[in-house]
Amino acid sequence: MTTERSTHVTVLLQEAVTALRVDPWGVYVDGTFGRGGHSRLILESLGPEGRLVAFDRDPRAIAAGAAIQDKRFSLHHTPFSEMGEVLQQQGIGLVDGVLLDIGVSSPQIDEGERGFSFRFDAPLDMRMDTTRGETAAEWLARADETEIAEVIRDYGEERFAKQIAKKIVAARSERPVATTRQLAALVAEAVRTREPGQDPATRSFQAIRIHINQELQELSLALSQALALLKPGGRLAVISFHSLEDRIVKNFLRDQAEPASHLPKGLPLRADQLPQPTLVLMGKAVRASREEVAANPRSRSAIMRVAERTAVPLSRKVA
């Protein structure tokens, strides 16, 4: 899908849809429509009675989705953390597959006015859904130094988080930190060293974006709902782009596939008393091929994990 300034290339397109093992008669969820690459390929695999329900927080993604005129398809301007409620409203119970493609999209990065990138001088917005919520500039204006430091440290894994927060708070006492260029300059003053080839502002921009959009919390909620929605034999495929996301996905899938591993060692239980797995891991994590990375460098950090639902009922609350 082409925008005014960017072309969005869907990462792991064929691999993700193949992993879902699409049943022509099935019902599927695309939790992150983006510009519709995965959705279009799923629709190609569905029969006339199949169904695809897609979600996205970004109004521009929703506008792009209007180009798909297909009675089997519906697109909702809603976070994927609310997929369960929306599907219930649609009269849909269990589904055959859920695909989540996590993180910021190329159009969001490349449209300078969105404020996601320090490559452009633009208002500090960073919201995936520009119709609601607090902007990055508004948050930086009200948050105290400790909160700013914690966000940059925890979500950006930035070792100079305290120094950056101190710079931001000092600067805003003179004028608001309202643009990407202002923030990038402040971070550059506080970061003494950085890995070769990485801009000093990279980690801080990532951290603030994750916080503004509550991305990790949304992911955790979506994983739990996806598990509850899957039919036995249904597939969950999740593509993530950085270690914080992948850690949540990996741990969630492992916990559901190996629930007995959390029990104290030596507990006197028979085999039939042990908690049974609700998911089975499908092979190893998948990464973009050398050819895909060469064609689309942003795919180099992508990692996809896939699991299949077992017939074991969800007898305990999913964290």
Between CA 177 and CA 189 the distance in angstroms is 14
Is residue 70 over pLDDT 70?
Answer: yes
> pLDDT at position 152, please?
98
pTM of the shown model: 0.90
Q: Does 125 carry a binding-site annotation?
A: no
pLDDT digits (tens, 9 = 90+) for 223-236: 999 999 999 999 99
Q: Does 89 carry a binding-site annotation?
A: no
Residues in the chain: 319
Question: Any residues with CB less than 8 A from the CB of 66 and at least 6 apart, and which?
Answer: none
pLDDT band at 69 (very low <50, low <70, confident <90, very high): very high
> pLDDT at position 315, please?
67
Q: Domain coordinates of the chain in residue numbers?
A: 13-106+215-309, 117-213
Is residue 5 over pLDDT 50?
Answer: no
Q: Once rounded to an integer, what is the mean pLDDT over residues 86-111?
A: 86
The class of domain 117-213 in CATH terms is mainly alpha
Between CA 45 and CA 17 the distance in angstroms is 9
Q: Does 108 carry a binding-site annotation?
A: yes
pLDDT band at 2 (very low <50, low <70, confident <90, very high): very low
| 173-176 contact pairs (CB < 8 A, 24+) | 176/137, 176/141
pLDDT band at 119 (very low <50, low <70, confident <90, very high): confident
Q: Does 37 carry a binding-site annotation?
A: yes
The superfamily CATH assigns to domain 13-106+215-309 is Vaccinia Virus protein VP39 (3.40.50.150)
Phi-psi region of 12 (alpha: psi -120 to 50; beta: other; left: phi over 0): left
Report the share of the chain in percent with pLDDT over 70.
89
pLDDT digits (tens, 9 = 90+) for 270-313: 555 567 899 999 999 999 999 999 999 889 999 999 999 999 99
pLDDT band at 252 (very low <50, low <70, confident <90, very high): very high
DSSP annotation of 283 reads: S
> pLDDT at position 115, please?
72
